[in-house]
Structure 1
Amino acid sequence: MELILKAYDLKLKHTFTISRKSIDVQPCVIVTLRDGKFAGFGEASSNPYYNITVPMMIADLEKIRSIIESSGTETPEVFWTKIFPYLKDNLFALCALDNAYNDLYARKKGKKLYELWGYTTEKNPLTDYTIGIAPIEKMVAKMEELPWPIYKIKLGTQEDIAIVKALRQHSNAIFRIDANCGWGIDETIRNSIELKKLGVEFLEQPLKADDWDGHKKVFKHSALPIIADESCIKEEDVAKCFQHFHGVNIKLAKCGGITPGRRMIQEAKHLGLRTMAGCMTESTVGISAIAHILPELDYVDMDGPLLLSEDIASGVTMEFGKISYAEGNGTGVHLF
């Protein structure tokens, strides 16, 4: 099995702003695993919040090149367990590798990933489309540029309620709010009451990740469901979120790939938590992996390619929230 690593700079259509940063370009690494006529693909983006860079991911994967390239016959679960000790401090790199291995494994079996797992896709949730923080007129323009059934609105400003009121005047779509740790406890509870009146479905990660006492209070008093994101990174975090959140947003890059991500989904379901998967700013490579766990999810945020001015691959496609799978096996991804 051959390991191929390539860095890309994904250019965005618009400056993308959340409560703690703004970006115009998103660096990422694409992992390709080639075995004869078959190839599998995985992706991970750099992320300053988690201190992850593309050179760091490439360096950590290069250190274990011989171990990776001597593999190829194991199941994805066995492969992940073997590799985890070497990449336990860089789960983003592990994600790109794990997703590529899952893709390759399914292609060699002649199946799409969701078929390999025995999933059916009739009840797949629709993906939302994210509106980053900007002046209200620009946020409205972004909504009008791409009419969509569900919008995920980034907040964490001094005029959050005014923003949502203004956007509501231009759309009857479902709104979801992501404050990216930008609110306080009482602010969240107050905002939840007002936002419920404005047709908001849920709030994502309003408080700082480690404010567990605050999460508990918000969980008890919020008028809207609260979904964990920055508070739910690895597998052991799912149980911690029980009775602190109503659901968890599982991001494959943060947890180490689709293999542990599927385990996290099952743990969340066991605890009665709502299940969501989210994306970083990613190309169709990373998004196509997320698409195959859709049958297990209540909500999904996989709009990464829609934010790009130019994609680097083909795979799943999205139209008015609905995801259509590529024809090929595995994730169906092909690099341009």
Structure 2
Amino acid sequence: MQVYVETFTIHKRYALTISRGTHTDTTLAWVRIEQEGVEGWGEACPFSLSEDQHQSLEDILTGLEVTKGLLRRYSAWERQQVEERLRQEGIPSAARAAVDMALHDWMGKKLGMPLWQLWGLDRARIQPTTMTIGIASPQEAQQRALVWMKETQTQSFKIKLGSDQGLMADQNMLIAVQEVIPLGSLITVDANGAWTVEQSLSMSNWLAGQGVSYLEQPLNRGQEAGLITLWHESKLPIFVDESCLDSRDIPALTDRVHGINIKLMKCGGLSEALRMIHTAKSNGLQVMLGCYSNTALGNTAAAHLAPLVDYLDLDSHLNLVDDPFSGAILHNGCLVPTDQPGLGVTLSGVLG
């Protein structure tokens, strides 16, 4: 098989601020794998787990250049062998995710079936995706919530907290959002590792009283020992994102969290995401699917797994002014993959 790599830049309509910084645009790698006249697509998106742990575009492109040489000796049907080889070669997870995504897309197109159908999944089980509101002033957060509701009719929100102005600022922002969204809306909170154990416990108990469903990644990656205290004393379920990269991390978390956030870029693709889902579920953990600055290509790939999980946060492409791809359809707040073969993604714009 032949592998082609092209970079492109996307821009957010609204800048996204989390506890580690603000993001306005991202350059991704578009990966195309061709064999027997069929082309499969995937994407690799840079991401950061902490201030000193990240995968840059340069890391990803270097890994993909090595991958191009390696894959010439494999068939697109040999997905397991390819996955094992790329892991052995130390290829970054985001690059592996793009290749795995493209190979799944290729298989579906070759067989003329969408992935969800090949896996025997039920699209009626897909839960609404949350719409993310980044750290902002109370007034800005309210405006963002109103825009999301107008454009998507959503009643599910993910609120980013961890303001450098302290816990009172976080509380004021959350209260402001609650003033403008429908009563009974699903609200989740993600602190991106901004809090101490004491702050996390205080905020989790306060958030429980505000009707929040769960708290995601309150402590920084590397501070997993502190999660035990929260697991025992928090009134909210605790989910982790940065603390759980792939299925190998799950066993050590089963006595200290209630759920995990799976992202294709950090775990290495759809194949590993499936293993994570089954591993987590077999250990009594809940599962959510998340994203970084992915386009409709990456989020549609994840959406094919949506019938298997409890929560979704696949909204990054809805905040783009120049998404070059079209794929899964937002219907009643749910991101639903279509009947088209493979991922069901088409190129609808110009790669920038």
Contact 1:241 1:248 in 2 (8 A): no
Determine helix, strand or coil for the equivalent of 2:213: strand
Q: Which residue among 138, 141, 166 is the counterpart of 2:176?
A: 166
Following superposition, the deviation at residue 37 of structure 1 comes to: 3.1
Structure 1, unmatched stretches of 5+, are none
Matches within 5 A, 1:90-109: 90-109=92-111
Contact 2:238 2:257 in 1 (8 A): yes
Contact 2:76 2:106 in 1 (8 A): no
Distance 1:77 1:143, change over 3 A: same
Following superposition, the deviation at residue 60 of structure 1 comes to: 1.5
Q: Which residue among 152, 157, 160 is the counterpart of 2:158?
A: 152
RMSD of aligned Cα (Å): 1.4
Matches within 5 A, 1:49-198: 49=50, 50-86=53-89, 88-147=90-149, 148-157=154-163, 158=166, 159-171=169-181, 172=183, 173-198=185-210
Q: 1:207 maps to which residue?
A: 219
Q: Which residue among 314, 318, 324 is the counterpart of 1:306?
A: 318
Contact 2:123 2:336 in 1 (8 A): no
- CA deviation profile, 1:227-259 (whole Å, cap 9, x unmatched): 110110122111111011000101110011111
Matches within 5 A, 1:216-235: 216-235=228-247
Q: TM-score, normalised by structure 1?
A: 0.96
Q: 2:341 maps to which residue?
A: 329
Determine helix, strand or coil for the equivalent of 1:51: strand
Q: Is 14-23 or 54-63 further displaced after alignment?
A: 54-63
Matches within 5 A, 1:229-308: 229-308=241-320
Determine helix, strand or coil for the equivalent of 2:124: coil
Contact 2:19 2:194 in 1 (8 A): yes
Contact 2:126 2:336 in 1 (8 A): no
Q: Identical aligned pairs, as a percentage?
A: 29
Contact 1:149 1:320 in 2 (8 A): no
Q: Is 312-321 or 246-255 further displaced after alignment?
A: 312-321
Determine helix, strand or coil for the equivalent of 1:5: strand
Structure 2, unmatched stretches of 5+, are none
Q: 1:47 maps to which residue?
A: 47
Kindly report structure 1 stretches of 4+ aligned residues shifted beyond 6 Å: none
Q: TM-score, normalised by structure 2?
A: 0.92
Determine helix, strand or coil for the equivalent of 1:190: helix
Q: 1:36 maps to which residue?
A: 36
- CA deviation profile, 1:105-128 (whole Å, cap 9, x unmatched): 121122111111222222111110
Aligned length: 335
Query: Counterpart amino acid of 2:155?
Result: P
Following superposition, the deviation at residue 216 of structure 1 comes to: 0.6
Query: Counterpart amino acid of 2:24?
Result: D
Query: Counterpart amino acid of 2:179?
Result: Q
Determine helix, strand or coil for the equivalent of 2:180: coil
